[in-house]
Amino acid sequence: MGIIMSTSVMLLFLLGLCHLSTAAAVDKNDVAKPKTTASTTYIVHMAKSEMPASFEHHTHWYGSSLKTVSDSAEMMYIYSNAIHGFSTKLTPEQAESLQSQPGVLSVLPELKYELHTTRTPEFLGLGQTTETIPQSNSESDVIIGVLDTGVWPESKSFDDTGLGPVPGSWKGACESGTNFNSSNCNRKLIGARYFAKGYEATLGPIETSKESKSPRDDDGHGTHTASTAAGSVVSGASLFGYALGTARGMAPRARIAAYKVCWVGGCFSSDIVAAIDQAIADNVNVLSMSLGGGMSDYFRDSVAIGAFSAMEKGILISCSAGNAGPSAYSLSNSAPWITTVGAGTLDRDFPAFVSLGNGKNFSGVSLYRGDSNAAPTALTPFVYAANASNATSGNLCMMGTLIPEQVKGKIVMCDRGVNARVQKGAVVKAAGGVGMILANTAANGEELVADAHLLPATSVGLQNADVIKSYLFKDPNPTATILFEGTKVGVQPSPVVAAFSSRGPNSVTPDVLKPDIVAPGVNILAAWSGAIGPTGLAIDARRVAFNIISGTSMSCPHVSGLAALLKGAHPEWSPAAIRSALMTTAYTAYKNGQKLQDVATGKPSTPFDHGGGHVDPISALNPGLVYDLTVDDYLNFLCALNYSATEINSLAKRSYTCDEKKKYSVRDLNYPSFAVNFESRYGGGTTSSNVVKYTRTLTNVGPPGTYKASVTSESQLVKISVEPETLSFSQANEKKGYTVTFSAVGSVPANAENSFGRVEWSDGKHIVGSPIAISWN
């Protein structure tokens, strides 16, 4: 936690996966529990088709069902699109009783989610002069819904100059509230809503003196993600002169609808579901959610359930993978109907060097740009925080742990961990320090994330930190200074997979490879809220129009905007087709032929790190072939997971019975990647078999052509074959199927490691690539 984002120490910026509430999901077979009067928010999923004929409307039925367990409980939200049901506050006993009522599919406790918290268009090949992007009004008809902390409407990134009327398909609204009214919307920011009933039910009324009970963004995160996805072109954008240039979103002519679901205390599932429910009704085309989903079964995951309903309506859902990397099995938002996005770097850096008294220099990064007289240009006394503290955790520079007499007038070296990086600098400054060197630990390795510190400071990687500490411990009078070098572009290699980016395998469904793709997520410049400083600290009185922050929260809206770009160019494409185009055209090697690197290991990254690879939007506009999916395909997938009729109903909002005569297999889901698990635990099984078969269908979205298959693999333990090896397409939207067979060769060592490969189809002009990940369970 807290190792990624640089902009806030509020609870919302504690990075990682979702935090579950203490209540467990209700199960009819639970043993008796001691009675309690404490109430909790629950989301109640109803089988709408089972409504008795005596009720005129489903809301009356919902209310009647609720009255059977509580005379006082009220429905907070009534859901009609994302799910069928409602949310309410109940005691655990009441929730268990409600679960047994006719027509009730499930009663799930409120969960708290947290946010996963320019140069980018040029880096992705989307410069303003690029002639390969179709120039039409179609992009301006695409609406991106952003579920986040709201929006700062006065930002130049939401200027609507040059945009035509609001699309006629738009059914949404611009809600008024604290410091926000309907006139704050325009032809760019066409909608803004807020959802706080779940938050207030758990944590009490919102204090409007501290945050706006309205769509207004007092945090910055939502403004940053919205402008990254579809911000208007703004010249002269920078953070204190860093990253100076023209800022623009990925789809600068697309429209934005902001849905505020995250508050100081977190993002609550009942509010998230309500926002998805409303966004579907509002007719958005893309949903961007830079927040953590669960690692539970999909029928218990509110984000996955809401996303399923959005997918049914033709809405692409882009979600962040999470910031819990580089640990394996750390990603969230793993449902196959969600596009799961990891983070990579840009070719831009912000160098700030450490110069020691012994004459040695070490590279670091920083976004400090304060009083030039405040930065120590001469060698200055230097101390390790642990040696200037009586606390056992003194090395971490936490509040109240430094001894001012031992810090005053010195540069202090602090270790990363526990509290926010920018807060460590604030602690040093408060104790009288004049500068800080922030040291990576083994948990961070060589990954460097720049921060807009309150005092002269720089961050150094683990190797440099160890050498600097050695100097500190051995020299009786250590000194140091920090040299700030501004902005540097053309950094190589780039991109590299960020260490914080959450990794596969997919813990919910191992036979579906996740993440899907990586996009820029490190040191991203985008619009910011005028209500808070760039560090997010209360003591930071600075105000900026743009900020530079990092996280898969930043990579997610890149893909959301690119999806809008593709939707504008190809309005007929389904969400699965758009994701396929992004995945199969992504690159996994640099122009020199070397494989993409993982900054966490210094070695080549794998599909468990980067999915299909790093997004390449120009190629995605013309992918040649796509792997498409329908709602029925996903329903068959749920059958392959052996979900019950009730569990499927929770996701699909209708009765659906799996055909007992049909053999379902997760491996037949028409996904643009291959996660191969020998001794898989899923349907269609190969429990002890040494042969695994995957079927796929390709749809032609380009000119007629003949595609030939090629396979690359680093494994000597598995033989991979494709049948047929050639596919010929004579017309648009023609479909052709193929099978990939994975055969284990000989005896497999007990310590066999994961191995990786790739299947590619090419007609000489297009390359349609799919990653392969082989695991031994």
Residue 77, pLDDT score: 97
The residues annotated as belonging to the active site are: 148, 221, 553
CA 412 to each of CA 3, 429, 489, 691: distance values in angstroms, whole numbers, following the listed order? 19, 10, 29, 58
User: In the predicted model, what is the mean pLDDT of the chain?
Assistant: 89
d(CA 577, CA 629): 7
d(CA 113, CA 111): 6
Q: Is residue 290 part of a domain?
A: yes
d(CA 437, CA 354): 8
Taken in order 706, 707, 709, 710, is the CA torsion positive or negative? positive
Residue 613, pLDDT score: 97
- Same domain for 692 and 736? yes
Residue 573, pLDDT score: 97
Give the residue ranges of the chain where pLDDT is below 50.
1-36, 118-119, 128-132, 135, 680-688
- Same domain for 358 and 214? no
Q: Is residue 4 part of a domain?
A: no
Helix ranges, 186-268 (H): 197-203, 221-230
Task: List the beta strands (DSSP E) in 416-570.
Answer: 435-439, 457-460, 479-484, 488-489, 496-497, 517-520, 524-527, 546-549
What does pTM read for this prediction?
0.90
Residue 140, pLDDT score: 80
DSSP structure string for 327-342: STT------TTSEEEE
Q: Is residue 32 part of a domain?
A: no
Which residue(s) pair with 286 in the sheet?
144, 316
- Same domain for 597 and 514? yes
Structure tokens belonging to residue 119: 């140069």
- Same domain for 90 and 210? no
Residue 678, pLDDT score: 83
CA 416 to each of CA 3, 107, 421, 439, 522: distance values in angstroms, whole numbers, following the listed order? 8, 41, 7, 6, 17
Nearest to 292 by CA among 56, 553, 501, 533: 553
639 in helix, strand or coil? helix
Say which amino acid occupies 382.
F
- Same domain for 340 and 364? no
Helix ranges, 689-755 (H): none
Task: List the beta strands (DSSP E) in 218-366.
Answer: 234-239, 242-247, 255-260, 262-263, 266-268, 286-289, 316-320, 339-344, 348-349, 352-356, 361-362
Structure tokens belonging to residue 147: 């579920």
**Cα torsion at 649, 652, 653, 655 (round to 10°)?**
-50
- CA within 13 Å, CB half, 602: 6
Nearest to 404 by CA among 422, 428, 374, 376: 428
- Same domain for 194 and 84? no
Residue 249, pLDDT score: 95
- Same domain for 356 and 343? no
- Tell me the helices (H) and strands (E) count for the chain, helix number first: 16, 39
Residue 715, pLDDT score: 84
Q: Is residue 18 part of a domain?
A: no
CA 229-231-234 angle, to 5 degrees, is 140
d(CA 753, CA 774): 9
Q: Is residue 502 part of a domain?
A: yes
d(CA 768, CA 218): 43
Buried b (16+ CB within 10 A) or exposed e, 615-646: bbbebbbbbbbbbbbeeebbbbbbbbbebeee
Tell me, what CATH number does 180's domain have? 3.40.50.200
Q: Is residue 617 part of a domain?
A: yes
Structure tokens belonging to residue 137: 């009004």
Residue 673, pLDDT score: 98
Within 8 A by CB and 6+ apart from 293, the residues are 17, 18, 113, 301, 303, 304, 319, 332, 333, 334, 335, 338
Within 10 angstroms of residue 171's Cβ, the number of other Cβ atoms is: 13
266 in helix, strand or coil? strand
* 601 Rama class: left (phi>0) / alpha (psi -120 to 50) / beta: alpha
Within 8 A by CB and 6+ apart from 665, the residues are 640, 682, 683, 684
CB 223, CB 529: distance < 8 Å: yes
Nearest to 310 by CA among 358, 357, 278: 278
d(CA 160, CA 208): 29
Q: Is residue 12 part of a domain?
A: no
First to last CA, the chain: 29
* 258 Rama class: left (phi>0) / alpha (psi -120 to 50) / beta: beta
Structure tokens belonging to residue 247: 């800022």
- Same domain for 342 and 386? no
Tell me, what CATH number does 411's domain have? 3.50.30.30
- Same domain for 550 and 603? yes
CA 177 to each of CA 108, 142, 271, 575: distance values in angstroms, whole numbers, following the listed order? 30, 26, 17, 34
- Secondary structure element (H or E) that encloses residue 413, with its range: strand 411-415
Say which amino acid occupies 738.
Y
- Same domain for 200 and 299? yes
- Same domain for 383 and 473? yes
Within 10 angstroms of residue 681's Cβ, the number of other Cβ atoms is: 11
Number of separate domains in the chain: 4
Within 10 angstroms of residue 712's Cβ, the number of other Cβ atoms is: 12
Judge residue 93's burial from the number of C-beta atoms within 10 Å of its C-beta, 0-12 exposed, 13-18 middle, 19 or more buried.
middle
pLDDT tens-digit map of 682-733: 333 333 468 899 999 999 999 999 999 999 998 888 999 999 999 999 999 9
Nearest to 441 by CA among 459, 455, 462, 464: 462
- Same domain for 339 and 384? no
DSSP structure string for 64-124: HHHHTT-SS--EEEEESSS-SEEEEEE-HHHHHHHHTSTTEEEEEE--EE-B----HHHHT
pLDDT tens-digit map of 442-477: 888 888 889 999 999 999 999 999 999 999 999 999
Residue with tokens 């105000």: 543
Residue 465, pLDDT score: 97
CB 456, CB 433: distance < 8 Å: no
CA 717 to chain centre: 34
Q: Which domain holds residue 379?
A: 352-484
Q: Is residue 15 part of a domain?
A: no
